């Protein structure tokens, strides 16, 4: 069974870091440097999402999703274990060229790098920070 997609909530801020080709650098005793690549596809993409001032429950829902939606999703994908896809809602407001870099290659799936962080702002309003890692799925 496929893991559910990340909730359709538009983040307030996004921080994206491109992946890199897996490699190791060796330095010999003479000082010569040798690099060894272990593939030709980038891995290790990171995407940090912040959802400021979203409702905790559906009862006071102002946006397209709630703090509970994010926490429930984290539980549904078994924490940091399973991978999932991200809806286009996450990328609203990003230029097409940057959005295409984040979503390419198409076989990148996301997983939680760590549990979501919730900061209570006031009664039933929170700021949630989510850190994701992009991985190529075989």
Q: What is the 3-state secondary structure (H, E, C) of 55-103?
A: ECCHHHCCCCCCHHHHHHHHHHCCCCCCCECCCHHHHCCCCHHHHHHHH
Residue 104 in this model has a pLDDT that exceeds 70: no
Look up the pTM and report it. Answer: 0.83
The DSSP output letter for 105 is S
Separation of alpha carbons 116 and 44, rounded Å = 19
Residue 19 in this model has a pLDDT that exceeds 60: yes
Pick the more confident residue, 58 or 1: 58
What's the confidence (pLDDT) of residue 61?
52
What's the confidence (pLDDT) of residue 50?
96
């Amino acid at each position: 069974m496929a893991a559910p997609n990340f909730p359709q909530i538009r983040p307030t801020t996004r921080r994206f870091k491109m992946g890199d080709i897996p490699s190791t650098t060796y330095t010999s005793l003479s000082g010569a440097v040798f690099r060894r690549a272990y593939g030709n596809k980038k891995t290790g993409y990171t995407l940090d999402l912040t959802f400021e001032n979203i409702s905790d429950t559906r009862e006071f829902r102002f946006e397209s999703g709630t703090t509970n939606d994010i926490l429930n999703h984290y539980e549904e994908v078994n924490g940091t274990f399973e991978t999932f896809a991200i809806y286009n809602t996450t990328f609203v407001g990003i230029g097409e060229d940057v959005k295409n870099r984040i979503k390419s290659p198409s076989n990148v799936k996301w997983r939680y790098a760590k549990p979501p962080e919730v900061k209570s702002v006031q009664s039933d309003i929170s700021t949630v920070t989510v850190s994701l890692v992009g991985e190529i799925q075989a």
